[in-house]
Amino acid sequence: MISVCPFPATVPDMTAPERSRLARERLSRELRRLRVAAGLTGTAAARAAGMSQSKISKIENGMLLPSVADVERLVAVLGAEQAVAEELVGLARTLHTRAESRRVVLQRNAHRRQWEIAQLQARATVHRQFLVGDVPALLQTERYMRAVLASLPQQDRDAAARDRLAAQRVLDDPAKRFRFVLAEGALRWRVGGAELMAEQVDHLGVVAGHGNVRLGVIPWTAETGVAALHGFHAYDDRLVTLTALTANAVITDPVDVGEYLALFEKLERIAVHGDELRRLLDRVAAEYRGLG
């Protein structure tokens, strides 16, 4: 009787790449063990499965991730029990799904994909956003957003500003919850004059009073103990988007999305809220007015 060796449970802080690596090693190891238990050489197994011997060798040594069809053929010719066969085929299917979705999808005018993303965003009931160097579009004043969009031609800038202002109406939907965490640098990065920035910081205090909005800011003086290399926007537990200079990155792998959600929870615990947030915002706004 041939069975699959138990796969050690992953520890909670194991990264997605580490989980994928261990799962792939397991698949290779178990396919090799099945072949040896069946008494077949690599050449004989390759011939029976309709593959080359070099392909079998690469699969068993972890140099090649076999397709789901490859694993189905191999478990059949190697005489694996049904439970074992189903487990290994399922493992291959999971690895391929992860390999495909872990390739961060860069969107440049990919209209169909953008439509699908827009649908997910519209259905999301919990929005989580972390930013390091700027204010979220949903929280921007019109003057701030026009400064951010200043590199666009006038007509495009006007259209983009109208779209952003219209999108902000989602904040009035009581069925949705919004959780924002900003680094203090987002308040300090001057996209315009001191008066404009003071107005923007004041606006953050107003929006923070909405019942469905939770806003936190991580002060420069806070000891974070967390590496947050870039901002991100999470929609429920299904989708994370990142914004780069020339494209948007979309992450849908459940494991990866989970890592971003865990990071957000850590960042939110570090941030200041309530009265402490109000004092921070008032201080920053006053400093801008002093510059003006």
**Cα angle 3-59-82, degrees, rounded to a multiple of 5:** 30
Report yes or no on 5 lying in a domain.
Answer: no
148 and 130: one domain? yes
Six-digit token string for 33? 């063990």
125: CB partners within 8 A, 6+ apart: 175, 176, 177, 236
Helix axes 42-49, 68-77, angle to 10 degrees: 110
Residue partners of 132: CB distance under 8 A and separation at least 6: 182, 183, 185, 186, 228, 230, 231
Residue 4 in any domain: the answer is: no
Determine, yes or no, domain membership for 282.
Answer: yes
Residue 155: its pLDDT value, please?
87
Instruction: Choose one of 62, 82, 102: the last residue of a domain.
Output: 102
Helices (H), 103-207: 111-123, 142-148, 154-167, 184-188, 194-207
Give the model's confidence band at 110: pLDDT under 50 very low, under 70 low, under 90 confident, else very high. Answer: very low
Query: Are 96 and 178 within one domain?
Result: no
Whether residues 112 and 231 share a domain: the answer is yes
Say how many domains are in the chain. Answer: 2
**Among 102, 118, 145, residue at a domain's last position:** 102
Report the distance separating Cα 6 and Cα 26, nearest Å: 9
User: Same domain, yes or no, for 115 and 237?
Assistant: yes
Q: What is the arithmetic mean of pLDDT over 66-83?
A: 92
Domain end call among 102, 120, 155: 102
> Residues 29, 130: one domain?
no
Confidence of residue 6 (pLDDT cuts 50, 70, 90): very low
Same-domain check for residues 176 and 113 = yes
Pair (181, 255) in one structural domain: yes
**Inside any domain, residue 110:** yes
The answer as to whether 120 is a domain residue is yes
Domain that holds residue 39: 16-102
Please give the average per-residue pLDDT across 262-269, as a whole number.
96
Residue 6 lies in a domain: no
Kindly state whether residues 211 and 243 are assigned to the same domain: yes
Higher pLDDT, 221 or 115: 221
Question: Which has the minimum average pLDDT: 235-239, 244-248, 276-280?
Answer: 244-248
Residue 181, judged by CB atoms within 10 A of its CB (0-12, 13-18, 19+), counts as: buried
| Domain assignment of residue 50, yes or no | yes
Q: Are 160 and 149 in contact (CB under 8 A)?
A: yes
Q: Is the pLDDT of residue 108 over 90?
A: no
For the chain, give me the number of helices (H) and strands (E)? 12, 7
Q: What is the pLDDT of residue 16?
A: 59
pLDDT bin (cut points 50, 70, 90) of residue 4 is: very low
CATH number at residue 88: 1.10.260.40
Is position 153 within any domain? Answer: yes
- 146 and 42 together in one domain: no
- pLDDT exceeds cutoff 60 at 264: yes
Q: Mark whether 165 and 233 lie in a shared domain.
A: yes
CATH number reported for the structural domain that contains residue 254 in this entry = 3.30.870
pTM: 0.65
| 126 and 258 inside one domain | yes
Mean residue pLDDT of the chain comes to 86
pLDDT at 3: 44
pLDDT digits (tens, 9 = 90+) for 18-29: 677 788 888 999
The pLDDT-based confidence of 223 (bands split at 50, 70, 90) is very high
Rounded Cα–Cα distance for residues 216 and 281 (Å): 11
pLDDT of residue 94: 82
- Only one residue has tokens 């960042």, namely 267
> 172 versus 121: which is more confidently predicted?
172
Digit-coded pLDDT (tens) for 133-191:
999 999 999 999 999 989 888 888 888 888 889 889 999 999 999 999 999 999 999 99
Q: What is the pLDDT of residues 30-49, one digit of tens each?
A: 999 999 999 999 999 999 99
Higher pLDDT, 90 or 196: 196
Q: Are residues 59 and 46 in the same domain?
A: yes
